[in-house]
Structure 1
Amino acid sequence: MQTKTSRMGHKPLALGLIVLAAALVAAGVLSRRSVAEQVKEASTPVVPAVSILPAGQMAGAPIDLSARIEPWARAPIYARVSGYLKSWNVDIGAPVKSGQTLADIETPDLDQQLLQAKAELATARSNLTLAASTAKRWQGLLTADAVSHQEADEKAGDLAAKQSAVNAMQANVDRVQALQRYTRLVAPFDGVVTARNTDVGALINVGGTPGSELFVVSDISRLRVYVNVPQRQVAAIKVGDKAELTVPERPGKTFTATVQSLSQAINASSGAMLIQLTVQNDSRELLPGGYASIHFDAPQSTASLSIPPSALIFNKAGTQVATLGKDNHVVVKQITVGRDLGNVVEVASGLDKGDQVIANPPDGVATGDVVRVAAATANAKAKP
């Protein structure tokens, strides 16, 4: 009875040992399979995933610059004669016509100079008349051999000297009379009086230094706009181009300006070229001397292509980009960079329109390498 019971107790133990052995065998098999798969994966080359995009046509980058506004014509009116301001007829902001009187200057000293010049001219004419009659009489005496040739020549020379003196006195009278015409200050062209720096009774001195002008007349029906364009952007601007002009005192309103001329020289200190634009100001909304902003819509480039900066490869061979060729094989191309515009780079040469550029080239990529196009890029490319 005890022997039968002992045999029945050993059966579960044997069964457990069998199960344990089977588990160990299975674990060993699975471990060997996992190691084999890892070895296989390690020996298989990894194909990098890349994103691609076509080399697009270079879009013209807009140019925004600050500018200053100047009148089409500006004439500071200075005194040409000394005296006292007798009266003025126009004030600042007043429109004037060409030739209109702005002010009158009283010139007592100049008046006396004119009287003196006329008196000297009268004296010189009297001396000329006497010298002419004397020379005529001596010429008659010379014919009768009553005087010598020397004496007759002296009288003729005196007549010529008196004639020269008359001419000089006449010129002096004309000069003073010409100065008297400057006692009346007039507008040189149609415009607006933008400054008046004198008043009745003020002492007027002859001057031409900045700040001593009596009036300033400006033509503001049309304005000049001056802007300094950096050297790398001057090629995008030419005579006749249109630009949008805005001023802070007219928010939300734009004016059309036209490029009239380029200075054709780069300023060495600023590295920019001075460009002149014109803008009509019939409504008088723009103010000369003010600050403005200029916006140029640069034309689209037909020869250059653009790529993102991340697509550039820099190495000892120079600047390159990786493109996607046939059967997902990489083709590395040498390029020449035109301009770096920040978010895009202009490619001057080396790429063809429609090339599939790898936007994120792997390190050490070379021609012939195989890559895999990322699913997100493929889906984006498939969308219209």
Structure 2
Amino acid sequence: MSSEATLHSSEKLSKRGLRLAGLVVAVVLVAVVVIGLITRATQASSLKTWTDEQAVPTVNVVMPEPGKTGPVLDLPGRLEAFIRAPIYAQVSGYLKDWKTDIGAPVKSGELLGEIDTPELDQQLVQARADLASAKANSELAGTTAKRWQAMLGSDSVAQQDVDQRTSDYTAKVALMNAAQANVDRLVAAKAFARIVAPFDGVVTARDTDVGALINAGGGTGPQLFVVSDIHQLRVYVQVPQSYGPSIRPGSTAVLVVPEYPGREFHAKVIATSNAVNANSGTTLVQLLVDNTDSALMPGAFAHVRFSLPVDGTALRVPASSLIFDNAGLRVATVNDGNKVAFKKVSILYDYGKSVEIGAGLQAGDRVIDSPPDGIKDGDAVKIASEDATAKPHEKA
């Protein structure tokens, strides 16, 4: 009896333990399921939050700021001699010889060449002979007039005869003066047979040679020599109309020529035409550059760089912030509600990496740099770094 009771008691305990273990397993399974559902719900909520956050684009913003230096206007220019004089013949003949060739420095009055003038020489001989004849006739007429004037006191001649002799003397004096003037004219013309330099300078052209037929051109015939004063050079530049008011007499510019890479020459504006060419829309500006070392040559091409004054009303932004589409040229800004607001702008000057805005922006605007594709007016955005709103962009 005792062993049977013990066995029955053990079976009861075993069944109770199994039921307890099953209950524990069921509780564990329910807990796992509940935890899994809670985790999944949390992850779904986090994913939705992350997705919503990713839907709002993150942008970099810059603050437009005034430029510290003005733009540089680079224009082509041409160099001309300070004074340039083409020398023409004023008498006809044959070139007897020339004394100076191209590149030779000359002084004022120095002989460049000489013309042989046989025809003019003969005219001068004839004119001097005519002058001698006129002088002789004048002297004879003067002597005759004096004698007739003396005889008038004795009433031996008529007053009419005396007047005729006096008038004849006056006419002969006039003929003598005319002959003298003709001689002086030919002597002056003969002086032009000597071709001389009109000022100190350099012979920049010689377009004649010994034995060449010379015709007095008076500026219309071929030039014989060209003398140029190149201790200073004039620089002529066509400046666009919009920049004309910024370039006035007294302002300076830098010249760069191809034959001296890396070297700069400084010029000064001395005059402007104060008129706009209707065909090109430009105004002519004249500068003066020192050339005491004769490094620059007249007729050469040069780059002329003007440093324009700073426009205090203009603002600079990166070129990457510009948007050009069917709505025109715009920039995207971020308003106080962190939403996109497009603004139309106009470029005053392009510096390459940055641009100067003439109108459309305010100094406090937050401009989006490299705006994302598809961004629209009113879209919400997130600023990459709040510090960026306080930092102006780095200019190129």
Answer yes or no: same fold by TM over 0.5.
yes
Aligned length: 366
Asked if 1:52 is matched to 2:61, the reply is yes
Q: Aligned partners of 1:241 and 1:206: how far apart in 2?
A: 44
**Alpha-carbon contact 2:318-2:393 (below 8 Å) kept:** no
Superposition map of 1:18-33 within 5 A = none
Query: Cα deviation per residue 1:15-62 (whole Å; 9 max; x = unaligned)?
Result: xxxx9xxx9xx99xx89x979x98xx99x9x97755432232144221
Among the aligned pairs, what percent are the same residue? 47
Structure 2 SS opposite 1:123: helix
Residue 74 (structure 1) aligned with residue 84 (structure 2): yes
Q: How big is each residue's C-alpha offset from its partner over 1:148-177, in whole Å with a ceiling of 9 and x where there is no partner?
A: 55x554444433333332222221111101
Name 1:281's counterpart in structure 2. 291
104, 123, 130: which one pairs with 2:114?
104
Cα distance in 2, alignment partners of residues 257 and 377 from structure 1: 45
SS class of match (1:87): strand
Report the CA distance between 1:108 and its aligned residue: 1.4
> In structure 2, what is the equivalent of residue 128 of structure 1?
138
Maintained 8 Å contact 1:51/1:377 = no
Distance 1:48 1:129, change over 3 A: same
CA positional deviation for 1:278: 1.9
C-alpha change, 1:318 and 1:251, in structure 2 (3 Å) is closer
TM-score calculated relative to the size of structure 1: 0.73
Kept after mapping to 1: 8 A contact 2:62/2:392 = no
Candidates 217, 222, 226, aligned match of 1:207: 217
Deviations 1:231-284 (A, max 9, x none): 233333232333222222222322222222222222222222222222222222
1:375, CA displacement in angstroms?
A: 3.3
Instruction: Write the deviation string for residues 340-362 of structure 1: whole angstroms up to 9, x where unpaired.
Output: 67765544566554544456789
Relative distance call for 1:378 and 1:337 in structure 2 (3 A) is closer
Structure 1 residue 81 displacement after superposition: 1.0
Pairing 1:160-179 to 2, within 5 Å after superposition: 160-179=170-189
The letter for the 2-side match of 1:216 is V
Q: Are residues 158 and 373 of structure 1, via their aligned partners in 2, closer, same or farther at CA, if it must alter by over 3 Å?
A: farther
State yes or no: 1:269 paired with 2:279.
Answer: yes
Q: Secondary structure, in 3 states, of the residue corresponding to 2:198?
A: coil
Task: Determine the C-alpha separation between the residues in 1 that align with 2:150 and 2:274.
Answer: 70
Distance 1:91 1:334 in 2: 64
Q: Matches of residues 81-120 of structure 1 in structure 2 within 5 Å?
A: 81-120=91-130
Q: SS of the counterpart of 1:264?
A: coil
Deviation at 1:132, TM superposition (A): 3.2
Which structure 2 residues correspond to residues 200-279 of structure 1 after superposition, within 5 A? 200-208=210-218, 212-279=222-289
**Alpha-carbon distance change, 117 to 212 in structure 1, aligned in 2, over 3 angstroms:** same
Q: Which amino acid aligns with 1:204?
A: I
Which amino acid is 1:53 matched to?
V
2:385 aligned residue: 375
Cα distance change on mapping 1:208 and 1:344 into 2, 3 Å: farther
Partners of 2:59 and 2:367 in 1: how far apart?
A: 10
Distance 2:175 2:392 in 1: 101
Query: Given residue 292 of structure 2, which amino acid in structure 1 is its aligned partner?
Result: D
SS in 2 for 1:302: coil
TM-score, with length taken from structure 2: 0.71
Deviations 1:290-349 (A, max 9, x none): 22222233332234333457767999x999877656565788889776556776554456
Q: Distance in 1 between matches of 2:234 and 2:337?
A: 60
Q: Could you tell me which amino acid in structure 1 is paired with residue 308 of structure 2?
A: A
Please state whether the residue corresponding to 1:232 is helix, strand or coil: helix
SS of the counterpart of 2:135? helix
- Determine whether 1:141 maps to 2:152: yes
Q: Which moved more, 1:193-202 or 1:351-360?
A: 351-360
**8 Å Cα contact 1:124-1:169 kept in structure 2:** yes
Deviates more, 1:229-238 or 1:109-118: 229-238
Q: Residues 264 and 273 of structure 1 are in contact (CA less than 8 Å); yes or no, is this contact kept in structure 2? A: yes
One-letter identity of the residue aligned with 2:79: I
Distance 1:352 1:158 in 2: 98
**The residue matched to 1:239 in structure 2 has which SS?**
coil
Flag structure 1 segments of 5+ consecutive residues without an equivalent. Answer: 1-18
Q: Secondary structure at the match of 2:228?
A: strand
Residue of structure 2 in register with 1:5 after alignment: none
191-200 or 231-240, which moves further after superposition? 231-240
The aligned residue for residue 7 of structure 1 is none
Amino acid corresponding to residue 298 of structure 1 in structure 2 = L
Asked whether the 8 Å contact 2:322–2:329 carries over to 1, the reply is yes
Structure with greater Cα Rg: 2
- Confirm or deny: 8 A CA contact 1:142 1:148 kept in the other structure: no
| SS at structure 1 position matched to 2:210 | coil
